[in-house]
Structure 1
Amino acid sequence: MTLFERIGVDVGRRLKLEDAIEWAAAHNVRYIDIQLDTGANAVNTFDAARARGIRAALEKHQVHLGLHTLSAVNVAEYSPFLSEAVDAYMRAYIDAMPLLGASSIVVHAGYHFTADPEMRMQAGLDRLKRMVDYAETKKALLLLENLNKEPADAEVHYLAHTPEEWRYYYDAIDSPAFALSFTANHAHLLPEGVEGFLAQIPLHRVVEVRLADCWRNGHEQHLIPGEGDFDFGDMFRRIEGAGFKGHYMNAFGTLDDMDKARSRQVDAARAAGVAT
């Protein structure tokens, strides 16, 4: 598969899933991500007949479907009732993966409120372990994403946004149902940058690399390539040169923006000496 074919599009909640598959097929997009939280794609709206049609469409068009949980749902929740609800939410996504013929599910480590990071991290790790155990029974694959930094004086901070925090979780979970989703633009926001992250993380455990433009050491933005200072050519050179064989996922702008950017991203990779 060419590099162009390995760059996917994060549809999110922009289209009904059936329409997203048709759109992908029409634009030669082999990988899409979908969120199952609202509207026509809410996780509780898929019956057996609808799911059967979705699986058939994915097979017909050779489109790989990824699911992407909502980062606003706090995986590090420890309060009674809410904690049980988060478990139920994540189990529903795990149940949906084989039902819909999806390949993986991006999950998160949650967030803390400045005063309780240790408690939140432990709660999140415990939950991820439970969900991985459940995923094993469903032959599902969870991908833990490194999230973005927040301003230093913010009350709320995402967890697993530094190499050290991310490692806290993946070092503790060894399972065929658990791997990683590396958001390169989130790494670009930190002093380590993409180069520093790649020097510290187990790239062999990374299944997906997520992409958007942003500004070095800036704040969270998902800009169209060329609107920030993210060096896509250098990123592809480093990741492909390290032997990465997974897929990439564009996550910015409109569907058209993400689709059109794929050719420019391949051009940047080729200019950096990457075999495409």
Structure 2
Amino acid sequence: MEIGISTAIFYPEVLTEDAVKLLSRKGFKVFEVFANSFFEFTEDYALKLRSIMNEEDVRIRSVHTVSSAFEPYLFDAYERRKDDFFRIYQDFLKFAKILGAEAYTFHGLVKRPHKNMTFKDIVYVYEKMVYEANVQGIALAQENVSWCLSGDLEYLRRLKDSVKGPLKYTLDVKQAVKAGRSPYEYLDVYGEDLMNLHLNDHDTINSCLLPGSGNFDFTELFRRVESLGYKGPGIIEVYKENYDTLDDLVESMRYLERLTP
């Protein structure tokens, strides 16, 4: 398994394009790009970022974005607003396609946006999103997020059973820990539809640490995802306070590389 990293590890101190440059020059070759503003959804910015990728000889495996700023509105009760944000979603898929990304990491709903929304309505939106993503050659990869509906295992099971089309999934270890669950409970739901993997460590006190700084058994995780046929990278995703220097990130990458199959 190739070990990559998310540009989100610098938020909010470093611009996305500068994050790619800094990390690539430290030896990282595969990325999840976190677009931190609507400015970064644009075609012009995507072309600029792709040029930097080519110069640095790196690739973007997945994309993420300011989820809480627009994803809940994809399910809004007001049709015009919902349509507006679906167009924004389409723009972001085009951004991802320009970068050559294979997956869009999706948080989704924090809660049901209005009292009349049924689970059937939620499924309908997901099916529209999955279809539109596939038109662009992108997989919609629902992430388990502790503070969203997707932190609930039953909600994820219902999505998996109900959504027609190839809905995929992102496993985030720290978000499983924050939800009081084992990451393997989420893997049991995802199965062979696992599309993306966020790597972070933890201990009995801290829910998120740089891989190698806690007590999580990454060897077992890698064995489990390999048994599911997962062929993608492992993406280091931690918070700014979880490391001190760029060399800490490199050391974490080397640690994980020693454990990979």
TM range (shorter): 0.7 to 0.9
**Superposed CA RMSD:** 3.2
CA shift in 2, pair 1:230/1:76, >3 Å: farther
Residue of structure 1 in register with 2:64 after alignment: 68
CA shift in 2, pair 1:112/1:99, >3 Å: same
Residue of structure 2 in register with 1:162 after alignment: 152
Q: What 5-or-longer segments of structure 2 have no aligned partner?
A: none
CA shift in 2, pair 1:52/1:234, >3 Å: same
Alignment of 1:84-163 (within 5 A): 84-112=83-111, 119=117, 121-148=119-146, 150=147, 158-163=148-153
Residue of structure 2 in register with 1:11 after alignment: 7
What is the rounded CA distance, in whole Å, between the counterparts of 1:29 and 1:260 in structure 2? 11
What is the rounded CA distance, in whole Å, between the counterparts of 2:82 and 2:232 in structure 1? 33
For the Cα contact (< 8 Å) 1:98–1:140, is it kept in 2?
yes
Residue of structure 1 in register with 2:174 after alignment: 185
Higher relative contact order (CA 8 A, sep 6+): 2
Once the two structures are TM-superposed, the CA of residue 53 in structure 1 deviates from its matched residue by 4.5
SS in 1 for 2:231: coil
Once the two structures are TM-superposed, the CA of residue 229 in structure 1 deviates from its matched residue by 4.2
What is the rounded CA distance, in whole Å, between the counterparts of 1:18 and 1:224 in structure 2? 22
Q: What 5-or-longer segments of structure 1 have no aligned partner?
A: 151-157
TM-score under structure 1 normalisation? 0.74
CA shift in 2, pair 1:113/1:128, >3 Å: closer
Alignment of 1:1-276 (within 5 A): 3=1, 6-12=2-8, 13=11, 15-38=14-37, 42-44=40-42, 46-47=43-44, 51-59=46-54, 61-72=57-68, 73=70, 74=72, 77-80=75-78, 81-112=80-111, 119=117, 121-148=119-146, 150=147, 158-175=148-165, 178-190=167-179, 192-202=181-191, 204-215=192-203, 221-225=207-211, 228-254=214-240, 256=246, 257-267=248-258, 269=259, 275=261
SS in 2 for 1:112: coil
CA shift in 2, pair 1:119/1:260, >3 Å: farther
Q: Encode CA deviations 1:194-233: one digit per residue, 9 max, x unaligned.
A: 233333332x2112111222356x89x4322355543333
What is the rounded CA distance, in whole Å, between the counterparts of 1:125 and 1:55 in structure 2? 33
What is the rounded CA distance, in whole Å, between the counterparts of 2:223 and 2:49 in structure 1? 35
Question: Matched residue pairs, number?
Answer: 249
Once the two structures are TM-superposed, the CA of residue 32 in structure 1 deviates from its matched residue by 1.3
CA shift in 2, pair 1:58/1:195, >3 Å: same
CA shift in 2, pair 1:164/1:113, >3 Å: closer
For the Cα contact (< 8 Å) 1:35–1:69, is it kept in 2?
yes
Higher helix share: 2
CA shift in 2, pair 1:32/1:75, >3 Å: farther
- The one-letter code matched in structure 2 to 1:230 is F
SS in 2 for 1:142: strand
For the Cα contact (< 8 Å) 1:36–1:42, is it kept in 2?
yes
Once the two structures are TM-superposed, the CA of residue 164 in structure 1 deviates from its matched residue by 2.1
What is the rounded CA distance, in whole Å, between the counterparts of 1:62 and 1:27 in structure 2? 12
For the Cα contact (< 8 Å) 1:29–1:63, is it kept in 2?
no
For the Cα contact (< 8 Å) 2:94–2:136, is it kept in 1?
yes
For the Cα contact (< 8 Å) 1:31–1:63, is it kept in 2?
yes
CA shift in 2, pair 1:265/1:137, >3 Å: closer
CA shift in 2, pair 1:187/1:90, >3 Å: same
TM-score under structure 2 normalisation? 0.78
